[in-house]
Amino acid sequence: MTGSATRHPLRTRLCGLPLAVLLFGAGIAPAVAQTPAPAAAAASEQPAPKRKKVVERAAAIMKALGDYSARRTQKLPALADYYAAKADLGKIDDSAPEAPRAKKLLAAMQKNEREYVRKHGAMNISARLDSLSDNVEGRKQFAVTTSKQMLRRGLAMDIGTSGDHETVLNYKYFKMDRPTVLNLARSGNIFNKARDLGFRAVVFTNGRLTWTYDVAANTFK
């Protein structure tokens, strides 16, 4: 993004970048506080044609974002238009006929912003994991130490590493099931340790079923 776009984010047509990039590129973090709180008096004074136009404009903006995700050649709406539409939706009174659709559009915008925050956070973690890729011996030693700890607890687990730079931590146990996976995660802070050591995935299996935890995304696949 050019310097002028950074200085004047709300007057720039932001083309070729997803909304996720637009928000931070413009120095604007998505937050509820950026949308003015609905004002009951103002909402009740909105004429029906204006309410309808507000809803249609917001729907068009969300469609444009969806089209961009599918075909990157599409143009994105201006960031100013996005936030203006979001603010106008919030001013529609709950009793108005357009209120149900307005709420759905607001929910879609909020979901879009939450997805961005989640993705941006995952990108930061992924970069950190990249910086730890050379810690191969540390990851191998963790697997050996953890295997011994489990054995002392009476659990004969096959624990080892695999993948490029040994970034996959594998737990194999014939009685492995989802409750066991969650208990292991809680009791040993496995996922936090995996992140600190540079593991990208933690795989639990009983030989038939497998549960894979994505460290960067902080979720099970």
Say what the pLDDT of residue 26 is: 40
d(CA 7, CA 18): 19
CATH architecture of 136-220: 2-Layer Sandwich (3.30)
Q: Which tokens belong to 131? A: 């910086």
Is 208 a residue whose pLDDT tops 70?
Answer: yes
Indicate the helix (H) or strand (E) that contains 172. Answer: strand 168-172
Percent helix, strand and coil across the chain, each to the nearest 5:
60, 10, 30
- Range with the poorest average pLDDT among 64-73, 78-87, 130-139, 212-221: 64-73
d(CA 176, CA 62): 43
Encode pLDDT of 74-131 as tens digits. 666 666 678 788 888 989 999 999 999 999 999 998 888 777 667 667 778 888 899 9
**Domain edges within the chain:** 3-131, 136-220
Cα–Cα nearest to 49, from 61, 41, 57:
57
Q: Does the model's pTM come out above 0.95?
A: no
Where is pLDDT greater, at 180 or 15?
A: 180
CA angle 106, 110, 115 (to 5 degrees): 145
Encode pLDDT of 31-66 as tens digits. 444 444 444 444 445 677 789 999 999 999 888 887
Say what the pLDDT of residue 85 is: 86
CA angle 35, 31, 23 (to 5 degrees): 100
Encode pLDDT of 6-19 as tens digits. 444 333 343 444 44
Rg (alpha carbons) of the chain, rounded to whole number: 24
Backbone φ and ψ of 125, nearest 5°: -65, -40
Average pLDDT (183-211) is 89
